[in-house]
Structure 1
Amino acid sequence: MNIFVANLNFKLQEDELLDLFENFGEVTSAKIIIDRETGRSKGFGFVEMDNDDEANSAIADLNGQEVHGREMVVKQAEERPRRERRF
């Protein structure tokens, strides 16, 4: 399951995000989205977990939890519609 994580403290590192979710089971990947121009965090990211039960448990327990002074928003990621490429 792909999990969307928002309202992250801009100083939170990917390994810290990984550690939060590993308490619930095996994490396939944890990625914080970085702004291309500034190289800084955009304050959100994605975590992938293969086991849906573990992922749902992580979502239920971590949504609204305060990490580094900010309450995280944690929910199942929604599929984005594909965008047309413009040249």
Structure 2
Amino acid sequence: MSIYVGNLSYEVTEDDLNSVFAEYGTVKRVNLPNDRETGRPRGFAFVEMQTEDQENAAIEALDGAEWMGRDLKVNKAKPREDNRGGGGGGRPGGNRGGGYGNSSRGNDRRGDY
């Protein structure tokens, strides 16, 4: 399991996070994602601690705490959702082709229901 740390200053480093969370136990890993275009931190991170008790202590102490001028949002990380899915076009069934406005089918919409 890991901890989600949100509302971070864009100036924060992995070493900064490691130092803060080390007060609550052994830090196994810090992941500070960077924006692909700017290379700057994205304002959130994930921290893995040695034990669940250490994670809980860090969450309890740091959630809502002010750090580097920001009020932190610290909680258990949720499993990552796969957001790479294609299409859908906003209609149920995810049918991007055919359907409304497709000149090859004219006004016959029976296949869309």
Q: Is the shorter-chain TM-score for this pair beyond 0.5, marking a shared fold?
A: yes
Q: CA RMSD in A?
A: 1.3
**Number of residue pairs matched by the alignment:** 86
Q: Residue 42 of structure 2 aligns to a residue in which SS?
A: strand
TM-score normalized by structure 1?
0.91
Q: Which residue pairs with 1:10 in the alignment?
A: 10
Q: Which residue pairs with 1:30 in the alignment?
A: 30
Structure 1: distance between partners of 2:54 and 2:34: 27
TM-score normalized by structure 2?
0.71
Q: How far did 1:26 drift?
A: 0.5
Structure 2: distance between partners of 1:53 and 1:31: 20
User: Who wins on radius of gyration, i.e. which is larger?
Assistant: 2
Q: Report the CA distance shift for 1:26/1:80 in structure 2 as closer, same or farther (over 3 A).
A: same
- Which amino acid in the other structure matches residue 14 of structure 1? E
Structure 2: distance between partners of 1:12 and 1:56: 22
By relative contact order (CA 8 Å, sep 6+), the higher-ranking structure is 1
Identical aligned residues as a percent = 41
Unpaired segments ≥5 residues, structure 1: none
Unpaired segments ≥5 residues, structure 2: 87-113
The 8 Å contact of residues 25 and 50 in structure 2, kept in 1 or not, is answered as: no
Q: Which residue pairs with 2:50 in the alignment?
A: 50
